Structure 1
Amino acid sequence: MSDMGGLESFAPGEGQGVTPEALSEEAKQRFAAAGAALQNIAKEEKKAKRKDTGIADAILHFLNDDQKTHFSVLISRMAARNCPSIFLLSLLSLINDNCLRATLEYLQEKEEETEAAEEIAKGTELLAPGTLSAKSNQSLVEWMTRLQVILAYEHTGILKAIQLDDSSLDTTLLQLTTFIMQDFFEAMQKPIDYDTASPLCANLLQILFEPYLKQEQLEEGKEDVSS
């Protein structure tokens, strides 16, 4: 791939100004550092057998929620591309308690990695000061941490699910994440429209996926040289 595997699919478009909901520079740096650390841990640790108990039930419960029918098509589309269930759960864990419980159960086997990521992210103010309460900010930081830990171990399957044949990234993930973020802000009584939430989510996804897309590009470059 010549373009970082389609990272521009997650990049905010031109002309979109900075808003209070824009990701802070401190947050970008801290989560980038955490992602790099988790990559190294995952490389060194032998993968243990994963528990899948409760994951299918949690996703089914979410899909059957009449209040979230607009999510169903996007979730089903990602599931049809064999996106790992735990990644879908971790995305939805920001707004759904059943998904949160299933995600935390999975992460019990990754306690050391989770604690390491949480330590790096401690005190991070994800958005501009005053945008969210301390509790809401912490919820977002913990959500990002969960996603980072899961990506460290499941990135191969996740990347296969979101990459199209031309190596660009399926925008379904950005759409789903944007709906999740809108739902989160709505619950905080700070509703934001789709056009405001989308660039924020694009930045978040770029931080999460960039290390793995870079790694993939380097590995492909080595294969080209060896051949």
Structure 2
Amino acid sequence: MKLNPKIIAFDADDTLWHNEPYFDEAQERFCRLFQDYASSQEILGLILNHQVKNLPLYGFGIKAFTLSMIESALELTKHQISGKGIEQIITIGKDLLQKPVELLPNIEEVLKTLQGKYKLVVATKGDLKDQHRKLHDSGLGHYFHHIEVLSDKTELDYEKMLHRLDCKSNHFLMIGNSLKSDVLPILNIGGFGIHVPYHTTWEYEKIDFEIKHNNFLALSNIIEVLNILE
């Protein structure tokens, strides 16, 4: 794959820093709260169903996740949950919003090496305020030319972002841990996508087919990006 990008965009959660394990921990806490109502597997399935159903209305992020947990609790308890129970769920959400930002290995080395050679961008989904908090706490903000918190990562969302960046798709490289959100839409609009897997993936972001595309590359570690771009 011949790469000559003008702009390199990085996903944030589980690409720059750890994120999904915090959600897994939050869901475990929720399952313990309602263990008398259903099995953990049933509860996790219920939360996921509410999350997916609510995406067009709530979007992505911790606040949306918290609302979906509350709706799940209402369904589990047949609307008999107490005010204290609702408060416990809100506490799980608030704790998520205050989790420390722990960088993934080699991230800062990669950004430091690429800065100045390319325009670096953050392109992520989620809650605007929370993502800006995490970027601030990460100490990585100064590496990036532009920060984009997208409501979703569809082809249209990326096309709008590229228009704002005044960048043609064939000069754009997206790096992320989600094949569904970070790679496929970019490939479909003529850009380049690099997949760097994270050890756990949200069910919604999983795909069940192999990607074969001239503009696609799968790496095992973010540091390998430097071998391709230098």
Do the structures match in fold with TM over 0.5?
no
| TM class by smaller structure | 0.3 to 0.5
Structure with greater helix share of residues: 1
Structure with greater strand share of residues: 2
Larger radius of gyration: 2
Given the two structures, how large is their TM-score scaled by the length of structure 1?
A: 0.33
Given the two structures, how large is their TM-score scaled by the length of structure 2?
A: 0.33
